Amino acid sequence: MSETNASAGRRAKRRRIMLWSLLVMAIATMTLPLGGYLYVSLTPAQAADAGRAAANPHANYWRAVREGDQGYTAASGPYTTDRLINNGGENYRNLRNGPVSSIAPWVLAVVVALILLFFLFRGRTRVEAPSSGRMVERWSGGERFVHWYVAIFFIILAITGMSLLFGRAVLIPILGLPGFAAYASFAKVVHNYSGPLFMVGVIVQFLAWVRYNTFKGYDWEWLKKGGGMFKRGVHPPAGRANAGEKIWFWIIATVGLIGVCVTGLIYDFPNFGQSRELMQTVALLHASFAMLWIAISLGHIYLGTLGVEGAFKGMAYGQVSEEWMKQHHSVWWEEMQRGSGAPQAAGEQAGGKSAPGPAST
């Protein structure tokens, strides 16, 4: 027994060393580019360049052109204006390649670091009661199909979208200009056609699950106790969806469906007479909301896979153990007991089917 304990201790120590090493490397990787800002701030040539720009006799002229009076043009079309230079495009480019593209990676990095730290100190949330072998239905086949339909399109859109947003900084050094141009053309087509299909799935998911995601009095207790994720042995009450899942559901309905999907449709179909200024604003909103959605989704993905034992099997196969249900969704478990009786062990029913609960839609 002592050898077993010592072996387990060594494995735990190696796991901690590995996680801390990954965290240190991630922080170092994010911090290293800041050296470029330090170099620029200490270089006196910057001040000389600023002085030369201020003394440029053409600067005031082109500044007036960019802000200037309307003229006349014989061209026609939705994006035609009477101005020689429209400064909105430059403002859009500066915002897209500036705050949006520079802040978003840090947000993702912070979320990943917090998840790693949480896993390092808390570990996986496991089912505490011994298994009886009895299973209950958590998700119906239709619900799982819609979930994985949305999840697959979400991953495709996240990868292609981030490729287009960060491609200049990340992919051009790897693929080169011709390689990135070919990939970006492909990614843009995939992103544009996947967006409307993804939105259909999100709407179906919303309609199917909205009835389970209204907040109840016991949800406040779940939130106060952090869902029991920070302390073993704490299991606050929850219905079919706990308070955390309900918050995630309404984030999808607001940030996802309205902030990302609706702006994506406007951006996807510019042939309805949208102005250039509207398209630029929509593009910035779409990218910002999408990055926020992706950052929050990392927590959902962690809890649904590595973070909570049995959660992934529930969505993969539709069933969870009786003990899992009692621990994580006690209110729903009691409702199932009153509505359809106790579950049976796998194989007790004819045909080897497990007893269904009232969760099917």
Let me know: does 166 contact 101? Beta carbons within 8 Å: yes
Distance CA 135, CA 317 (A): 11
Distance CA 105, CA 108 (A): 5
Average pLDDT over residues 343-347: 42
List, in sequence order, every residue forming a beta bridge with 125; answer none if it has no partner.
308
What confidence category does residue 351 fall into, taking pLDDT thresholds of 50, 70 and 90?
Answer: very low
HEC readout, the chain: CHHHHHHHHHHHHHHHHHHHHHHHHHHHHHHCCHHHHHHHHHCCHHHHHHHHHHCCCCHHHHHHHHHCCCCCCCCCCCCCCCCCCCHHHHHHHHHHHHHHHHHHHHHHHHHHHHHHHHHHHHCCECCCCCCCCEEEECCCHHHHHHHHHHHHHHHHHHHHHHHHHHHHHHCHHHHHHHHHHHHHHHHHHHHHHHHHHHHHHHHHHHHHHHHHCCCCHHHHHHHHCHHHCCCCCCCCCCCCCCHHHHHHHHHHHHHHHHHHHHHHHHHHCHHHCCCHHHHHHHHHHHHHHHHHHHHHHHHHHHHHHHHECCHHHHHHHCEEEHHHHHHHCHHHHHHHHHHHCCCCECCCCHHHCCCCCCCCC
What confidence category does residue 355 fall into, taking pLDDT thresholds of 50, 70 and 90?
Answer: very low
Nearest residue to 161 (alpha-carbon basis) of 252, 292, 257: 292
Residue burial 130-158, b: 16+ Cβ < 10 Å; e: rest: eeeebbbbbbbeebbebbebbbebbebbb
| Single-letter code of the amino acid located at 305 | T
Give yes or no for residue 140 having a pLDDT over 90. Answer: yes
| Mean pLDDT lowest among 172-181, 198-207, 325-334, 350-359 | 350-359
Whether the full predicted model's pTM is greater than 0.75, yes or no, is: no
Average pLDDT over residues 296-313: 94
Give yes or no for residue 64 having a pLDDT over 90. Answer: no
Distance CA 163, CA 188 (A): 9
Integer CA distances (angstroms), 181 to 158, 175, 184, 188, 284, in order: 19, 9, 5, 10, 22
Model pLDDT, residue 212? 94
Give yes or no for residue 161 having a pLDDT over 70. Answer: yes
Let me know: does 318 contact 361? Beta carbons within 8 Å: no
Average pLDDT over residues 36-61: 53
Give yes or no for residue 165 having a pLDDT over 70. Answer: yes
Model pLDDT, residue 302? 95
Task: Work out the angle at residue 158's Cα, subtended by the Cα atoms of residues 154 and 162, and round it to the nearest 5 degrees.
Answer: 170
Average pLDDT over residues 282-311: 94
Average pLDDT over residues 138-153: 95
Model pLDDT, residue 360? 33
List, in sequence order, every residue forming a beta bridge with 136; answer none if it has no partner.
320
State the first-to-last Cα distance of the chain, in angstroms, to the nearest integer. 49
Distance CA 260, CA 269 (A): 14
Model pLDDT, residue 213? 96
CA R_g for the chain: 27
Let me know: does 240 contact 248? Beta carbons within 8 Å: no
Q: Which region holds residue 332: left if phi is over 0, alpha if psi is between -120 and 50, else beta?
A: alpha
Reading the block at residue 42, the tokens are 């200490």
| Single-letter code of the amino acid located at 353 | K
Q: What are phi and psi of 288, to 5 degrees?
A: -65, -50
What confidence category does residue 277 fall into, taking pLDDT thresholds of 50, 70 and 90?
Answer: confident
What confidence category does residue 315 fall into, taking pLDDT thresholds of 50, 70 and 90?
Answer: very high
Q: Is the dihedral of CA 305, 308, 314, 317 positive or negative?
A: positive
Average pLDDT over residues 20-26: 64
Nearest residue to 358 (alpha-carbon basis) of 106, 96, 140: 140
